[in-house]
Amino acid sequence: MSLFGEHAAGWLAIGLLGAATDRARRRDWLVATAGVAAAHGASIAVKRVVRRPRPDDPSVQVLVGTPSKLSFPSAHATSTTAAAVLFGRLLRRPLVPAVVPLMALSRMVLGVHYPSDVVAGSALGAAVAVVSRWLGRTRSEKRTSR
């Protein structure tokens, strides 16, 4: 899961696959994928402002490499939550309970995040997903009213 979520790459690939295979809703898939990318970018921006270091305790064995030493919020939890909300809506499947807890737990088990990092990341991902859906719907409505 860690590798899949790195830089949101796995979620972005799924979004692009959806856009390539679901021609009738290509725009919806691209908007959702852009939302996942925006969520990931938002988490990186918050990390750089907050600058909270990752857990560093001799009793915690870190089991994976990380692209930075910054911890808050978890970018994996952010992009996973955004993807679960946005793609779940397109697939008409409840993805949030299926994937978000697993990704959040994996980040803590791997020793690279505190619980508050993954909770904040999930909240940020959900917020960006809601805004992305609203912006996508707003632009779509403007086009159809012309």
Instruction: Please tell me the distance from the alpha carbon of residue 145 to that of residue 15, in angstroms, as a whole number.
Output: 27
Q: What's 17-45 look like in SS3?
A: HHHHHCHHHHHHHHHHHHHHHHHHHHHHH
Condensed to tens digits (0 to 9), the pLDDT of residues 68-119 reads 899 999 999 999 999 999 999 999 999 999 999 999 999 998 888 999 999 9
**Structural domain boundaries enclosing 13:** 2-144
Domain count, the chain: 1
DSSP 53: B
- Tell me the pLDDT tens digit for each residue of 21-73: 999 999 999 999 999 999 999 999 999 999 999 988 887 777 787 888 999 99
Find, among 23, 27, 12, the residue nearest to 137 by Cα: 27
- Phi and psi (nearest 5°) for 53? -75, 155
Residue 6's region, left for phi above 0, alpha for psi from -120 to 50, else beta, is: beta
**What pLDDT does residue 139 have?**
59
The whole-model pTM stands at 0.90
pLDDT at 61: 73
